[in-house]
Amino acid sequence: MPELPEVETVKRRLSLSLIDKEIIDIDVFYPSYSSLKQINNEKILDIKRKGKYLIFVLSNHFIVSHLRMEGKYHIKEEKDLSKHDLVRFNFKNFYLFYNDVRKFGTFNCFNKDIDIYNEYPLKDVGPEPFDVDGRYLYQKLTIKNEPIKAALLDQHIISGLGNIYVDETLFMSSINPHRKSNTITEFEASKLIESARIVLNKAIKLGGSTIKSFESFNGEIGHFQTELSVHLREGERCKICNAFIIKDRCAGRGTYYCPNCQREDENKKLFVITGGYASGKSSVLKILNNLGYETISLDDIYNNLFQSSTKMKNAIKKKLKISSKEELKKLVFSDKEKNNILMSITHPFVMEELYKEISKMNVQVIFIEVPLLFEGGFEKTFDKIIDVYSSPAIRDNILKNKGISYEDFIQRSNSQINIEEKRKKADFMVYNDGTKKDLLFKVKELLKMMEV
């Protein structure tokens, strides 16, 4: 459906060909548009736009046109109708056709002495992001208990933003689409207005977005769809933090966002426990859990999904042609290329589940064990990184308990990135080189240092 940038593009294209040209008369081939028949021998003085409405300013009338889902304009030198042409504006040397497969588009005709901005449908169209500031939006939002996405789609509050540009505006403002409108601060409202202007201007510059069928004029398509940050990018990486873009439903519309850049609760801090194989990550997580902190293990999520998600299992089967967990385990440590494919399949599922669990936890601090943090490219996805590493004695003990040989360990370690590299990227470190009691002491010291 055309939104503000698409309609602005149509307006600009039509203006180039039509301003100062005289409409001799109009042929109407669809009864709902019969009011257009009253127009004859009138010059088009200007073409304006309000929200998603086009306004043709004629010598004696205004025509207000809304393209809805599929409305399109074409100019031709021949007067022959094409399929779904519903209106023909006859000029001296050419014809303007209005074509609409779905017939949802609308036309309203007014005499020139009428203040059209106070008449239906334009009176219900709110100001555009270009016309207002953050304070205006903030005042409108404080009285709304609906998701911010719904409020931004509401053309009475602010006009011109549809599904695509609301998703992009919210992403640029780092605001979760599900957040209640009345929790948005005045600062955030200003950020929303500013982002909306940037997104819309860029889209106008690129001639709008052509996703299903938008053509601005005479078959021209838009190019903003290649610039989208979140919309239609489900399962792809966020351009800022590398998390996976999520799609769910909000305000009745398919909604795309980055669960990390657009957190529902910004005060929730996500701390990662990572480290090499057999370093004691799980022991640290267990201690934190015993101390009363909320913890999540990505391995647990993965294992659960492996049991419950047919979608994930099928995706693995399709791409790697294996389905048993044992085979997969072997592959993870022996074939780097196939392991990368496996990660690219499973990570979006695992991360989506992770964010679901996070949103259920009603606390400010969550510790998450992420074994392949760096290998998966997630180092920018969390707030702080805690690296656990162990002395050879501890490591050998862990390996023994897991029933894994040293050769196996070397192979597994080789499939992960260098321990030294990890250490450099971490914010905090826990050296696991003593008894369980020592580790408990170190974790408590860590918590003091982190002030949580």
Residue 258: CB minimum distance to Zn ion, A: 3
- 2 catalytic? Reply is yes
- Supply the minimum distance, in Å, between the C-beta of residue 233 and Zn ion: 11
- Would you tell me which residues interact with Zn ion (CB under 5 A)? 238, 240-241, 243, 258, 260-261
Single out the residue of 394, 370, 388, 369 nearest to residue 427, CA to CA: 388
The tokens for 235 are 């399962």
Is 95 or 378 the residue whose CB approaches Zn ion more closely?
Answer: 378
Which one-letter amino acid corresponds to residue 241?
Answer: C
Asked whether the beta carbons of 250 and 150 are under 8 A apart, the reply is: yes
What crossing angle do the helices spanning 436-450 and 281-290 adopt, rounded to 10°? 70
Which of 96/170 has CB closer to Zn ion?
A: 170
Write the DSSP string, 335-387: -HHHHHHHHHHHHHHHHHHHHHHHHH--SSEEEEE-TTTTTTT-TTSSSEEEE
Catalytic residue at 52?
yes
Query: What gap in Å lies between CA 378 and CA 134, rounded to an integer?
Result: 33
Q: Which residue is nearest to Zn ion (CB)?
A: 238
Catalytic residue, chosen from 11, 50, 52, 233, is 52
What is the nearest approach in angstroms of Zn ion to the Cβ of residue 281?
24
Q: Which of 3, 70, 352, 369 is catalytic?
A: 3
**Considering the complex, what minimum distance in angstroms separates the CB of residue 260 from Zn ion?**
5
- Cα-based torsion angle of the residue sequence 159, 164, 170, 172 in order, rounded to the nearest 10 degrees: -110
Distance CA 210, CA 104 (A): 19
Contact (Cβ atoms closer than 8 angstroms) between residue 158 and residue 137? yes
CB of 263 vs Zn ion, minimal distance in Å:
10
CB closer to Zn ion, 272 vs 446? 272
3 is catalytic: yes
Q: Rounded to whole angstroms, how far apart are CA atoms 191 and 187?
A: 6
For residues 272 and 443, which CB has a smaller minimum distance to Zn ion in the complex?
A: 272
Residues in the chain: 452
Q: How far is CA 124 from CA 148, 155, 244, 397, in A?
A: 20, 8, 38, 71
Q: Distance between CA 167 and CA 174 in Å, rounded?
A: 11
**Cβ atoms of 354 and 368 closer than 8 Å:** yes
The catalytic residue among 2, 5, 129, 371 is 2
Peptide bond preceding 348: is omega within 30 degrees of 0, i.e. cis? no
Give the distance, in angstroms, between the CA of residue 337 and the centroid of all CA atoms in the same chain: 29
CB of 256 to Zn ion, least distance (A): 12
- Residue 69 has a CB neighbour count (10 Å cut-off) of 15
Q: Are 48 and 62 in contact (CB under 8 A)?
A: no
Q: Is 422 exposed, middle or buried (0-12, 13-18, 19+ CB in 10 A)?
A: buried
To Zn ion, the closest distance from the beta carbon of 243 in angstroms equals 5
Nearest residue (CB) to Zn ion, 237 versus 338: 237
Catalytic one among 12, 68, 103, 253?
253
CB of 10 to Zn ion, least distance (A): 33
Note if 353 is an active site residue: no
Tell me which residues are annotated as active site: 2-3, 52, 253
